[in-house]
Amino acid sequence: MEKRNKPYIQHEEPGLKKYCACSLSRNLPYCDGSHHGTGMHSYKVEIETAKTVAICGCGSSKNKPFCDGSHELLQET
Ligand code: FES
């Protein structure tokens, strides 16, 4: 994902979501298909009830695509 020191906070309605894993999307945090040819794949997540989610923007989460707070350990640039 695009390197930033904070998550993308998104309100999601129920349904299948595809979040970017390659950082090439022009519609972050969502996949726009730009990963084709890289060998990477989007993160597919079924959202069952409307809710707000925090999608990792720093690339350091161990629970991708979700933020796990690891960005707190990064220095501001
Ligand atoms: S934005 Fe990556 S862990 Fe929070």
Tell me the C-alpha to C-alpha distance, in Å, between residue 4 and each of 14, 33, 40, 67, 68: 26, 21, 20, 12, 14
Q: Tell me, in angstroms, the distance from the centre of ligand 1 to residue 40's CA.
A: 20
Residue-wise pLDDT tens digits, 38-75: 999 999 999 999 999 999 999 999 999 999 999 999 86
Helix or strand or coil: residue 8?
strand
Query: pTM of the entire structure?
Result: 0.89
65 ligand 1 Cβ < 6 A: no
Residue-wise pLDDT tens digits, 12-35: 999 999 999 999 999 999 999 999
53 ligand 1 Cβ < 6 A: no
